[in-house]
């Protein structure tokens, strides 16, 4: 197993995040938990994660949440930069958990995708 430290970006009350944390603990993985509600992501970090994920902002947009509906984002008429700005302002818009290891990251949805990184 690689010695690179795993970082997991979570919302502590999220059931999928808790399942991912349990997998990491059960596997004995050295990891750091980043609660991006308490320590907000920067636009640079979010862009870096997106690059590692190989996804666009719209692809990690949490479409099932109340904030998505309230902001009327289903129209899809925003630029990537506008979506990023909204994600930083409203972290509920970010799909979770995101697991980062070295130069790779995955969106652990479903949670079993975490094994692809380990």
Q: What is the pLDDT of residues 93-116, one digit of tens each?
A: 999 999 999 999 999 999 999 999
Catalytic residue among 5, 6, 13, 14: 14
Could you give the C-alpha distances from 90 to 5, 6, 52, 84, 101, in angstroms and in order? 27, 25, 22, 10, 25
Q: In sequence order, what are the beta bridge partners of 8?
A: 33, 99
Tell me which fold the domain 6-116 belongs to: Glutaredoxin (3.40.30)
Q: Residue 117 gets which letter from DSSP? A: T
Q: What is the pLDDT of residue 115?
A: 93
Q: What is the rounded distance in angstroms from the CA atom of residue 110 to the CA atom of residue 6?
A: 18
Residues 6+ apart with CB under 8 A from 1: 29, 118
Does 17 qualify as catalytic in the annotation?
no
As a whole number, mean pLDDT of residues 22-37 equals 96
In which band, very low, low, confident or very high, does the pLDDT at 118 lie, cut at 50, 70 and 90?
confident
> Residue holding tokens 């975490």?
114
């Amino acid at each position: 197993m690689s010695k690179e430290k795993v970082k997991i970006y979570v919302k502590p009350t999220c059931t999928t995040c808790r399942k991912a944390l349990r997998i990491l603990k059960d596997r004995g993985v050295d990891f750091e938990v980043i609660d991006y509600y308490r320590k907000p992501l920067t636009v640079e970090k979010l862009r870096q994660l997106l690059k590692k994920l190989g996804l666009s902002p719209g692809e990690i947009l949490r479409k099932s949440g109340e904030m998505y509906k309230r902001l009327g984002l289903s129209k899809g008429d925003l630029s990537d930069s506008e979506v990023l700005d909204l994600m930083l302002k409203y972290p509920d818009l970010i799909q979770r958990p995101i697991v980062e290891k070295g130069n790779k990251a995955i969106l652990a949805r479903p949670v079993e995708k975490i094994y692809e990184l380990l």
